[in-house]
C-alpha cells in the first residue's frame, strides 16, 4: 500500500499545480479514484489471504 500512497501524493501534486491544464488534472483525479479502489480491494482480500497463510502453515509444517 505504500506504493499507492506515493502515487496518490504525486497525483495531488499534479492537481495542485497551477501549470497543469484542467484536462490533465481530471486525469490525475481519475487515477486517484482508481488507486483508492485498488486499496479497498486489497483491504477486502486481506482476511482471506491471512486465512490461506494460516491454513498452509498448519497443514504443511507438521
Segment 29-53 mean pLDDT: 89
CA angle at residue 9 from 45 to 11, to 5 degrees? 100
12-28 pLDDT per residue, tens:
999 999 999 999 999 99
Longest dimension (CA), the chain: 61
Has this prediction a pTM greater than 0.75?
Answer: no
CA distance 16 to 62: 55
- Mean pLDDT (the chain) is 89
CA distance 50 to 2: 19
> Is 9 or 59 the better-scoring residue by pLDDT?
9
Segment 26-43 mean pLDDT: 93
CA contacts within 13 A on the Cβ side of 10 = 8
Amino acid at each position: 500500500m505504500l506504493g499507492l500512497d506515493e502515487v496518490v501524493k504525486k497525483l495531488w501534486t499534479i492537481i495542485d499545480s497551477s501549470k497543469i491544464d484542467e484536462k490533465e488534472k481530471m486525469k490525475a483525479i481519475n487515477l486517484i479514484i482508481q488507486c483508492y479502489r485498488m486499496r479497498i480491494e486489497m483491504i477486502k482480500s486481506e482476511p482471506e489471504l491471512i486465512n490461506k497463510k494460516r491454513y498452509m502453515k498448519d497443514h504443511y509444517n507438521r
